[in-house]
Amino acid sequence: MIRRKWPAAGVGVLLAALTAGLALPSAAVAGEPTGRDAPQVDLVLDVSGSMRTRDIDGQSRMAAAKQAFNEVLDATPEEVELGIRTLGADYPGDDRKEGCKDTAQLYPVGPLDRTEAKTAVATLSPTGWTPIGPALLEAAGDFEEGDGSKRIVLISDGEDTCAPLDPCEVAREIAARGIGLTIDTLGLVPNAKLSRQLSCIAEATGGTYTSVEHQDELAERVNELVDRAAEPVVTPVAAEGAASCAKAPTLESGLYTDREEFGQQRWYRVDVLPGQELRASVSVAADRAVNPDHGVLLRAVTVHDREIVRGEAAGTGRTDVLSTGLRYPKPERDDDDGDKPAAETVCLAVTHSFSPGAGVKTTPGLPLELTIDVVEGPDGSSDVASFGLGRGWWLLGTLVLAGFLAGLVWGWLSRWRFAVWRTS
């Protein structure tokens, strides 16, 4: 299952910018695509003993993974630098301490030699433990520096066997470094505990979790993730919200990142001209242990503190990211005196009700990502502001009237047929 949340714009980037020190030069444009360096992908493959199990299309999990890797290596775009790391591939013994060190770089992240990479994969044989946490820590260091996208694709058929090093906490630690690294996970067994662990790892960095049970599904999904790495990266611009609207920064369309303390409210300002529509969304990430039952509230208010519209979402701790959004269309002015139309300042207030777990540091605040989009609004935007449906009211009325008329005609025809039947 792939988890998606609206608004999708920006949730993946949010957890890639989990440090408060993220800052761009003042000349940077909000949401400006980056990625001048080559995108990099590190495939992390579980080669533990359980990969011998023969339950994927009549072959072992290892054989299915090898076949999928060969297809992926053939299809990898030329601009993508790809590497392969293993976990549980070398140590066959019973010493847990040694087994939890068993992770190695099979093929370094860099320009891809398909023949060499395939040869390396062909040598793999299911062997040892499942040190997911240690492998992720090592994989985070496999990448070269640069502003290209960085993605780990973890493929495993079992839970981590190296507790107390929780792989979910490892993923949160990696995300907190602010290096723009996304971890996607794929599970080869439809197991609830494995799904929870792999989902947590993925969500901590804005990645995805997918359960696959067939070789072709595995190859297709890994190919999608490798291709996604080649897509342009949008880097959020650091913005520092204020404690009140009067002191808030004025933002233009773009992607912004900030941090919000527990129990704090952050304010931002956006100018909206008549005929334009403001679309805003916010995502708040729990980059540390928090208590369950929390929420996120995004409000649009006037400078006189009159609420215009709000968006809110609630969570129970099943995900590390909570998102909500709103839309506000500003109607066109009826008068046309030739003067330049005045913009309305809309104040956006972000509040969250996350609370820290016992013994958890409260600073810095939780990372939030704010997406602002000011676009030309549709005709009749005043209807949208008043009712929330705009022209949909006309369509709804037409459908109701058509249904009413159709009912009358059908009733008349039914009575006529019945009368004809009685007299025949």
Amino acid code (one letter) for 414: S
End-to-end CA distance of the chain: 62
- The model's confidence at residue 24, banded by pLDDT at 50, 70 and 90, is very low
Specify the domain boundaries for CATH 3.40.50.410 within the chain: 33-234
**DSSP-derived pairing of the beta strands 181-187 and 150-156:** parallel
Report the share of the chain in percent with pLDDT over 90: 49
Contact between residue 185 and residue 157 where contact means Cβ atoms under 8 Å apart: no
User: Domain 33-234 is classified in which CATH homologous superfamily?
Assistant: von Willebrand factor, type A domain (3.40.50.410)
Which stretch of DSSP H or E encloses residue 351?
strand 344-352
Of the two residues 23 and 249, the one the predictor is more confident about is: 249
List the one residue out of 348, 284, 351 whose CA is nearest residue 18: 284
Domain 237-385 fold is Jelly Rolls (2.60.120)
Q: What is the pLDDT of residues 284-338, one digit of tens each?
A: 888 778 888 889 999 999 999 999 999 998 877 655 678 888 999 988 766 555 5
Q: What is the mean pLDDT of residues 263-278?
A: 93
Query: Kind of pairing, strands 344-352 and 366-376?
Result: unpaired
| CB neighbourhood size of 69 (10 A) | 23
Check residue 222 and give its pLDDT.
Answer: 94
The pLDDT, as a whole number, for residue 95 is: 93
pLDDT of the residue at 345: 95
* Residue type for position 271: D
H-only helix segments in 123-166: 132-139
Strand-pair category, 294-301 with 307-315 = antiparallel
pLDDT at 20: 34
More confident residue, 416 or 212: 212
Q: In the beta sheet, which residues pair with residue 325? A: 281
Average pLDDT over residues 16-29: 35
Q: What is the mean pLDDT of residues 133-152?
A: 92
pLDDT at 18 over 50: no
Over the stretch 345-380, which tens digit does the pLDDT of each residue have? 999 999 999 888 888 888 888 889 899 999 886 654
pTM above 0.75, yes or no: no
Listed in order, the ranges of the chain carrying CATH 2.60.120.380 are 237-385
Mean pLDDT score across all residues of the chain? 82
Higher pLDDT: 72 or 228? It is 72
